[in-house]
Structure 1
Amino acid sequence: MDKPKRRLDWWLVAILLLAAFLYAWNIWEAGSANDYYTAAVVSMTKSWHNFWYGAFDPAGFITVDKPPVALWFMAISGKIFGVYGWSVVLPSILFGIGSVYLIYAMVKRVFGAWPARLSALIMTLTPIVVADSRTNNMDATLVYFLLLATDCLFIAIQKKRPWLVLVSFALIGVSFNIKMLQAFMILPALLLFYWLASSQPWKKRLVTLVGAGAALAIFTLAWPLQVDSTSAADRPYIGSSQKNSVMDLAFGYNGSERLLGQTSGLGGTFGGLNSKNKGGFEGMPGGAPGSAATTKNGTTTKSNGTTTQNGTPPTGSKQGGTPPSGGTPPSGTNQGGTPPTGNKQGTTTKSKSNTTLTAQGGEGNFTPPTGSNRKGGFPGGTRRGGRGGMGAGGGAFNIGTAGPLRVFQSALGPQISWLLPMALIGFISSFVYYIDRKRKWWQLSLQQKHVGYWLAWLVPVMGFFSIASFFHPYYMIMLAPPIAALAGIGLYTMFKQFQGSWKHWTTYLLPVGIAITIALQAWYLTQYYTVAPWLLVIAGILVIAGLFATRLHRFRKIMVGATLVTILAAPGFWSITPTLAGESAGIPTAGPDLLSQGGNTSGGIGSGSVNSGLLKYVEAHQGSAKYLFAVSDASTAAPYIIKSGKAVMAIGGFNGTDPTLTLKQFKALVKKGELKYYYSSGRSGNSSIAAWVEKNGTKIAASKYGSTTSSTQSTNQRGGFGGMGGSGTLYKLTVK
């Protein structure tokens, strides 16, 4: 008997094309995307040694702050097409589209075509999914592999193939080597689902789980143990670790410190990222926001929204592509000058004698800047001032106030939570709808087990981010798959239940879900617009009234379409903003600020600027030296590595504080002729090395190399955590 032919689902094709447009359009404007990771891609294409370890610089001095699996895909793309912004972002785009398809495939297999289409569409139109899929960060890659692990487990249960359970858990191990402990967030959901859904006897289930645990351990630990067992002299220093160890990086900087607040790598604790300090943080060097003034050499000074280096204030001018750290500039201005009024801006003053750093407010103490009122963006509204700060969506570290409702707050909610109420109500609806009346009440149907899995993914991850002290808003992509699946399935079942008896409580789930969802969305819109929220509320009232008037017996397709358009309009607009702005940022975000700013000004980790005169000078005088020059931190080094393809030593790694070298070791490199120059960019780092350089190095007059500044990024991607900019001091090094 012939197998039935598979029909092409044109709805799916349309959704995937929409995803491809949102994730890929304008990506040629990416510049160097997140230049920290792009510099690593440049380095990894130079040698297998750098490729394996994920080296930041071509000399293999130090690694980036994440394992290399996601970077491997970027490096392969860079090797094939050349290293460009679009080529290093291409894997994220493909993984983002792949995640949409996996959501569709998993939901369709159990619930049918329409729940699958709705889930895929919601995943596609989740703002932070769009933003993350347009950058060379690791998050889109991580989510794809987590969904692939989930799909393997679902197939293993459905087709009774225990070996696929091992594959599923092995993929979680691979995911660990993408972004470390973040991958383990869904382990409880995987274990619970397997135990409840498997038809194996419990003893065989235990044996399978033991094998799955072994597969998880092998694929999790293979790379870290190989690296940690290799002599430190034969591999790069593990960036952002304090003990030159992958396991220390995993359980420290990328582990417990995310939950408790960062205590290493930044010279202080991000104590302000908790509910006490409302989103600020302290101790970050080099111009990043902080909750208190930072002093150097015992001197503290304060300025008003300006940045000065070596005593020369920029007086509002654009200097080297690096804005003052006093907040996000209003639209229509160059990066520099006076921040928007009303913003609790950070301020930084740098000179030989002092460095000052004050906080930018978080959820509790943030006042949106007074931007220019203008028509645009979401239809029918006058635009309010957006949420300023580092990045267009509320700030690189603005994660709201810790508590059970944190993901609904305005700091994180507009990135992820537009349809979260629909997902939670949708779980109730679908769980009740798929009850098998022939079974006992505790015997769950297959569909109930599946919606239970998505809830078991959603709740623990929400719980972690509700109390964690240190993470970025773009980590919210971890919530996108369960929200998409539960909302898509729930909408389908709610429409079915709405046609039932008025006496049954499930009949009212659809209008209640629409009302709560619209209310939340309207509140998010009030952060930016005055008229648009009211238009959305009116549309929601009309839809609910239309549903009650027709009961879906007449005009069914019209009412279903009107409902979907109403609840997807606002998140859909938010989702298209990164596409229209050509955003590919180090701190990806979505929102109207991108349109007014011409893209996310938080681009990479540094300014993305290169002093071409200085670069030519050090290249001309490098001779046989291994490094062009040394700097304190990776944000200063990254654009030079991208521009030249040569090794620049970032002594302190990402933040300038990694204990990579002692002064004795540094002097030995200088004596051997491997290092001839040191650039003092004004960022803090190894104080003993910096002091020795300042005392013993020979200053090179700026007139010898000029001060011409170019950018490795598009104008939409400049800014970030600070970097070299257009000024600093170059020293020639000698050891007598």
Structure 2
Amino acid sequence: MAARNRWRTGALVAICLLAGLLYVWEIGGGQLGNTYYSAAVRSMTESFSNFLFGSFDPYGVITVDKPPMALWPQVISVLVFGFHGWSLLLPQVIEGVAAVFLLHRTVRLWAGENVALLAALIFALTPVTVVINRDNNPDTLLVLLLVAAAYAVTRSVQAPSARRRTTWLLWCAFFVGCGFLTKMLQAWIVVPAVALAFLVGTTGPLKRRILDLLGAGGVLVASSFWWVALHDWWPGSTPYVGGSADGSAWDLIVGYNGFGRIFGGDQGGGMVIGTPNGETKSGSFGGDPGLLRMFNELVGGQISWLLPLALFVLLVVSVAGVRAMRRTAAGDPAGRAGWFLWGGWLLITALVFSFAKGIMHPYYTTAMAPAVAAICAAGVAVLWRWYRASDAWALLPAGIAITAAWAFVLVSRDTSWYGWCRWAVVVVAGAAVVALIVGRFSVVRRTAIGRPALAVAVAAFLLTPGVWSVAAATVNPNGNTPAAGPAIAPGPPPTGPAPVVQPGPGRRTPGGPGGPGLVIIGGGSGETKLTDEQRRILEYAERNGDGAEIALAVNGASGAVAPFIMETDSTVIGMGGFGGQDDVPSTDQLQRWVNDDTLRYILSAAPGQQTQPMPSNGARAAVQQKRQAWIEQHCTVVAPAAYGSKPPAASAGRPTVLGGAPDTLYRCGEQ
């Protein structure tokens, strides 16, 4: 027994080391993750107010479009080690490995040590989880907190006393609340599954269970909204909350980061194509909403490798559970709670992501990975037991065949990307299926042949996602839109002239040989370095700014502002937040800043340049145009020769640009 325990401990350590290696590999290779958040981390080190509210710029004008909890560990790391790529991403690595470890401890309580080890391995080798844990988006901390909530509710349903049951449930609510302060309403998606698992998994009086849930609801609200209340009721000035319509944290919750994600509203899907005649088309990062979104070309390779197996397991376990209820057979409440927890987590999250009409990045699906891992690991154990001792033995070979077939389909979508994997999976899984069938010929062979065949089947399950995960760890990631695997265009390319696009944080996806491509755009170019011209502009503005507190204001999406913040110690602010369309600073604020000598120089689009607002943004589209009009009316263009640059091309010959191009320096106020 001691030797077995040592082996299991060693296996867990090896899995955590594997996860850490995948997440940490070459993270100091120059990448800075998502530059929107990286710039905010740099700004948050400037003052306590910036740290508390998550200011994007060092002057505290506007926050990022999320609560700041995910950025706080990164700020602390930067304060200790300095501002570098590895110091930004090190907290993500730690959080990612902690999530793998904690998933193991959670599943072990529910389904045993071997199942827990397999769940941890599946989770560690999920491609979307690898890429997001090598980035500084908030999803890594969100997943860790949700797994912590799952651990707490599992401890709650297995608690030996009512008091401990209540205590652990309250901890569960607290962790979900912290998840809310990481990525708002996305954290609450798992709440129905958690509540249902607690109700069916505990054996105390129903009244006490309901009271416990009400108490947990109070903790959930308090831990979710304390920062919101702090910002909106702060007695002094606070930064405008990015992404909101009125600068309040509450509006961000119910709008852009809440119902806007589900119903779309005026935020669009995030992907834009511009054409020379000024027309624009919009789409979704994750493809068209619908029941099969999780399996499409944009999302499938990130999360869906074992999703068919997970759904298959949930189906057969549900049928078995219904049959047991009809026989009035005694059940295990804690075991039943685990299926409701992980099954509810997976199904609810998948449905929300599948039908969301707002912005839905494929990397959001990392929130499904713990549930997929837990269900598949436990499902393999259940199918193995049935294979050995019941008439339902064929379900195990069927599950293996389904998983291998789907892996073959996924890899076949682009055989230039490790295409050999599809045949390897077919061969390995086929051998496992044949061996399992042969093993049913006698009771002795079921173990002698079946056990090695099961190990081979698990290897087949993990082959393709493992290859994709290793590949994701050995390439320099796209920090703003991280994704594993090849770049795939979502649907047929548009016809006609090649599009003119605003530089975006994503990569250009191929539109076929010689054809136009699509560009995923968001907060700007995602560049991490200032150009020589941008440096000359900033130096000129500082030299001639008459001591203005704000050295330079950039009227453009956040990607155009981030390099100024990350690369210099100057007080540079952005206008309009992530996409450049928030009403901050307003034209009235700009006028006040100019009047009191707080601001002298603005970098914006050239006068008369045709600009096309981001589509499907309603009234927000007019904000950027109004600000540009104010700049042209109240400020004077600085001749490029003054800072050592050449004049830009004539505006009449310049292309339509989504959101404007901040390449022209203006001086505002008296000369």
TM-score (norm 2): 0.83
2: distance between equivalents of 1:584 and 1:497?
A: 44
Q: Select 1:566's aligned residue among 460, 481, 503.
A: 460
1: distance between equivalents of 2:78 and 2:584?
A: 28
Partner of 2:554: 631
Per the alignment, do residues 421 and 607 of structure 1 end up closer, same or farther by CA in structure 2, a change over 3 Å counting?
closer
Matched, 1:617 2:617: no
1: distance between equivalents of 2:298 and 2:65?
A: 25
Partner of 2:234: 230
Q: Select 1:220's aligned residue among 219, 224, 230.
A: 224
Partner of 1:383: none
State, as a whole percentage, how many aligned pairs show the same letter: 33
Partner of 1:66: 66
Partner of 1:173: 177
Per the alignment, do residues 728 and 438 of structure 1 end up closer, same or farther by CA in structure 2, a change over 3 Å counting?
closer
Asked whether the 8 Å contact 2:432–2:457 carries over to 1, the reply is yes
Other structure's SS at 1:164 match: helix
Shift of 1:624: 2.1
1: distance between equivalents of 2:320 and 2:335?
A: 9
2: distance between equivalents of 1:707 and 1:588?
A: 35
Asked whether the 8 Å contact 2:635–2:667 carries over to 1, the reply is yes
Matched, 1:184 2:188: yes
Asked whether the 8 Å contact 1:128–1:589 carries over to 2, the reply is yes
Partner of 2:404: 518
Structure 1 residue ranges without an equivalent (≥5): 264-268, 274-280, 282-287, 294-300, 303-355, 363-396, 709-720
Q: Select 2:366's aligned residue among 477, 483, 502.
A: 477
Partner of 2:599: 675
2: distance between equivalents of 1:80 and 1:580?
A: 27
Deviations 1:252-286 (A, max 9, x none): 000111111141xxxxx52xx5xxxxxxx6xxxxx
Q: Select 1:196's aligned residue among 180, 200, 210.
A: 200
2: distance between equivalents of 1:671 and 1:113?
A: 68
Per the alignment, do residues 444 and 112 of structure 1 end up closer, same or farther by CA in structure 2, a change over 3 Å counting?
closer
Question: AA paired with 1:457?
Answer: W
Deviations 1:653-676 (A, max 9, x none): 111111123323211101111111
Shift of 1:460: 1.1
Deviations 1:224-257 (A, max 9, x none): 01211125x6111111100111010011000111
Per the alignment, do residues 508 and 604 of structure 1 end up closer, same or farther by CA in structure 2, a change over 3 Å counting?
farther
Higher-helix-fraction structure: 2
Matched, 1:50 2:50: yes
Q: Select 1:543's aligned residue among 400, 419, 432.
A: 432
Question: AA paired with 1:704?
Answer: A
Per the alignment, do residues 210 and 607 of structure 1 end up closer, same or farther by CA in structure 2, a change over 3 Å counting?
closer
Shift of 1:605: 4.5
Pairing 1:100-499 to 2, within 5 Å after superposition = 100-159=100-159, 160=161, 161=164, 162-230=166-234, 234-263=237-266, 269-270=267-268, 273=269, 289-290=272-273, 301-302=276-277, 356=278, 358-359=280-281, 397-428=284-315, 440-441=328-329, 443-470=331-358, 471-499=360-388
Question: AA paired with 1:614?
Answer: I
2: distance between equivalents of 1:635 and 1:27?
A: 21
1: distance between equivalents of 2:523 and 2:151?
A: 33
2: distance between equivalents of 1:526 and 1:93?
A: 31
Shift of 1:735: 5.2
Deviations 1:128-156 (A, max 9, x none): 11111111100010010111112112112
2: distance between equivalents of 1:516 and 1:67?
A: 41
User: Which segment drifts farther, 243-252 or 654-663?
Assistant: 654-663
Number of aligned residue pairs: 596
Per the alignment, do residues 229 and 600 of structure 1 end up closer, same or farther by CA in structure 2, a change over 3 Å counting?
closer
Other structure's SS at 1:730 match: strand
Partner of 1:585: 479
Partner of 2:585: 661
Per the alignment, do residues 574 and 43 of structure 1 end up closer, same or farther by CA in structure 2, a change over 3 Å counting?
same
Question: AA paired with 2:255?
Answer: G
Other structure's SS at 1:698 match: strand
Asked whether the 8 Å contact 1:514–1:544 carries over to 2, the reply is yes
Partner of 1:27: 27
Question: AA paired with 1:485?
Answer: A
Other structure's SS at 1:79 match: helix
Deviations 1:39-88 (A, max 9, x none): 11111111111000100111101100000111111111111111212211
Per the alignment, do residues 54 and 32 of structure 1 end up closer, same or farther by CA in structure 2, a change over 3 Å counting?
same
2: distance between equivalents of 1:580 and 1:723?
A: 34
2: distance between equivalents of 1:251 and 1:438?
A: 43
Shift of 1:444: 4.7
Pairing 1:650-729 to 2, within 5 Å after superposition = 650-681=574-605, 686-706=624-644, 728-729=663-664
Deviations 1:175-222 (A, max 9, x none): 111110001000001111111112321222222222211111111111
Shift of 1:615: 2.7
Other structure's SS at 1:289 match: strand
1: distance between equivalents of 2:463 and 2:93?
A: 23
Asked whether the 8 Å contact 1:587–1:604 carries over to 2, the reply is no
User: What root-mean-square deviation, in Å, do the aligned CA atoms of Structure 1 and Structure 2 show?
Assistant: 2.8
Per the alignment, do residues 410 and 676 of structure 1 end up closer, same or farther by CA in structure 2, a change over 3 Å counting?
same
Shift of 1:289: 1.4
Partner of 2:493: none
Structure 2 residue ranges without an equivalent (≥5): 441-445, 489-504, 508-519, 614-622, 647-656
2: distance between equivalents of 1:663 and 1:605?
A: 22
Per the alignment, do residues 236 and 600 of structure 1 end up closer, same or farther by CA in structure 2, a change over 3 Å counting?
closer
2: distance between equivalents of 1:149 and 1:402?
A: 29
Asked whether the 8 Å contact 2:433–2:453 carries over to 1, the reply is no
Question: AA paired with 1:688?
Answer: K
Larger RCO (alpha carbons 8 Å, 6+ apart): 1
Other structure's SS at 1:630 match: strand
Question: AA paired with 1:730?
Answer: L
Question: AA paired with 1:692?
Answer: W
Shift of 1:543: 2.4
2: distance between equivalents of 1:27 and 1:681?
A: 35
Shift of 1:540: 2.7
Question: AA paired with 1:58?
Answer: P
2: distance between equivalents of 1:544 and 1:592?
A: 30
2: distance between equivalents of 1:17 and 1:600?
A: 30
1: distance between equivalents of 2:575 and 2:78?
A: 26
2: distance between equivalents of 1:409 and 1:623?
A: 56
1: distance between equivalents of 2:21 and 2:58?
A: 34
Partner of 1:649: 573
Question: AA paired with 2:403?
Answer: T
Per the alignment, do residues 410 and 126 of structure 1 end up closer, same or farther by CA in structure 2, a change over 3 Å counting?
same
Question: AA paired with 1:459?
Answer: L
Asked whether the 8 Å contact 2:130–2:472 carries over to 1, the reply is yes
Per the alignment, do residues 614 and 357 of structure 1 end up closer, same or farther by CA in structure 2, a change over 3 Å counting?
farther
2: distance between equivalents of 1:643 and 1:358?
A: 33
Deviations 1:610-664 (A, max 9, x none): 1222232223334421212112232211110111133222121111111123323
Shift of 1:724: 9.3
Matched, 1:507 2:429: no
Partner of 2:79: 79
